[in-house]
Amino acid sequence: MFYKENNVFDEALERIKLIFDTHDDVIVSMSGGKDSTILFHLALMVATEKNRLPLNVFWLDQEAEWQHTVDYMNSIMRMPEVKPYWYQIPFDFTNSLSAQKNFVRLWDPAEKDKWIHPQSDISIKENPSKYNRFHDLADNLHDYMTDSDNYAVLVGLRYIESRARRFVTMSGKGMFRGETWAKKRTKRGQT
């Protein structure tokens, strides 16, 4: 077993400080869940300490979100310490509920009367990228939130909840200063 002197909280803060110290821009990707919420608050602490406010916060709204999640993310995105990147853009999402229709179009302007919840007055409503699938958007929209090539995206997730998450996190492809990170960009606009 390998043990460190610091607790998990202090280790997380140190890792986030390293990211802020070595990158021009830092973007926190949020889902509105517990893991991204913890990461958001840790990053907000570091951004405040380092005078790097407002904190860039990214949320790709999947339209069929729980109302509590929408309300919660609305409160986060309206914080004065946050620069919101709340995307409510049309895109194709895998449809696991139909054998005939593989994808469902979210935020389809032609189907506005069927939207699960209305678009926010502060959200981004036009897709700035060439992508229209969820994972491609989640991996590439960050490029449109900064002019710097030296940026980092923080994603809060517990890899123990999923084998796929564990594989991505532990694959070792994304190394930065001797630490394993989830992904590494090889070229701007490509993951």
Phi and psi of 103, rounded to 5°? -130, 150
Indicate the DSSP class of residue 167.
H
What's the sign of the alpha-carbon dihedral 35, 41, 44, 48?
A: negative
Measured distance CA(35)–CA(165) in Å, rounded: 13
| Of 15, 22, 6, 86, the residue nearest 45 (C-alpha) | 15
Beta bridge partners of 152: 26
* pLDDT, tens digit (0-9, with 9 covering 90-100), for 118-171: 999 999 999 999 999 988 998 889 999 999 988 999 988 766 666 665 565 555
Cβ neighbours, 10 Å, residue 118:
10
DSSP string, 54-81: SEEEEEE--SS--HHHHHHHHHHHT-TT
Q: pLDDT per residue over 74-91, tens digit each? A: 999 999 999 999 999 999
Please check the confidence at residue 190 and state whether its pLDDT lies above 50.
no
